[in-house]
Structure 1
Amino acid sequence: MQINRRFLSLCLAVVGLLSLATPVVAQSVNRAAIDELNTQLLYVALPLTLFVELTLVYAIYRFRNNDDPSPTVDDPGLEITWTAATAVILVFVGVSGFFVMTNPYLTPTAMADTGDPAANAATAGDELIVEVDAYQWGWSFHYPDANVTTRDRLVIPADRDVRFVMSSRDVIHSLYVPDLGIKQDVFPGTETVARTHATETGEYRLYCTELCGDGHARMHGAVVVLNETAYGDWQDRRSAA
């Protein structure tokens, strides 16, 4: 009876964790893809964890007083079954991870070329380009279309593709906006690219996640996501100033 109660409690705990596995509404397309992958892997990992732990508990209880254990009997069918099950799980994890890693918002170089120069130009034309300049220990954001530059404060519109073209003045830095699912290293002497498509307005934190000197802890900033109208007004005010 005690074991049954423990089993029931464990099952209820797993159900509770599964109910928490569904993430809240993501703030960007990047974050939505990452959260979806994490949820898929969690739904696979939790039942496996439960199965292994219950098997372990059963074995400890069932054979606790076995003073004369006998060797395990060969069971080719069981061995084939768990090998095949493991292969299926690994294929699922690999395929899920592959589709997320080839997402153009997470891996900008994976963005497919349509083969139509006009279509490719139109797609690129819809993007907001922000030039990111990293230095010890701060961030500079330049908007070529409006000739606007800000420091440590990145302002972007919601529901629009944004491309960050990044370079460093000195050492390696890393742009990290956890709420938007953005993380990309920034190198001196070369350009790297990151993309996002924010879906929720608000203000989020920005960090450098590459140790870049004694001022690394101070190298942070804010990301402000505005609706299209508010973003246009902000850009007009900055341009006029």
Structure 2
Amino acid sequence: MTMTGVIVVTGATGDIGRTTRAQLEADGYRTVGIDLAGDESEGLFRADLAEPRAVSEVFATIAAENGRLFGLVNCAGVYEALDAATTTLPDFERIWRGNVVTAWLASQSFAEYAQDGARIVNLASISGQHGSLDVAYGAAKGGVLALTKSLALHLAPRIRVNAVAPGVVDGSMASRIPGDRLESYRSSNLLKRLGRPEEIAHMISPLFGLAGAWTTGAVIEINGGIA
């Protein structure tokens, strides 16, 4: 069940965003990306997704070029491995804006141009479900989970909204986690390893097909098993 219409992937130059775009394209979908990083090229737009005007403008441009939109994957996010004891209010607000505000603004603009039956998938985290020593990040990802369920209520029945909640995934984010903490994450899941970006992408893509047709407000865990 492959519907027509473009899928927008935010955080498109990050490990999971880049891999998700590639998987969606392999599965027959058309995609465009949005990110602060990277050179603008065909299919990639640069925008600050925490700024309402920038979000509104980039989605208007994408819709003008592609018509009604089918999907949105909110991969944009911020992780800084902050120590809770020294996290300042500006730190907390920056992490919140980078994870929750970006997803909210992108979803709000996407809904304006979405076709009936469209899908939103938010990238949440095990940190939002079970807490994190990086309190700001854990709180923000908890906000993404609540945003997912609230958007599912708000946008039904026209748009389905779900979240994928990974454990720690090998890549640039994991490289910022202190070594002892990273090792504890690796050893505490049942499969005794970190996830891979392509595994997350393979979990996201089916939600744009039949697997997501009667699914909304769900949080899908992919974390190697909780020990």
Do these two structures clear the TM 0.5 threshold for a shared fold by scoring above it?
A: no
Structure-2-length-normalised TM-score: 0.24
Based on CA coordinates, which of the two structures has the bigger radius of gyration?
A: 1
Give 1 or 2: higher strand fraction. Answer: 1
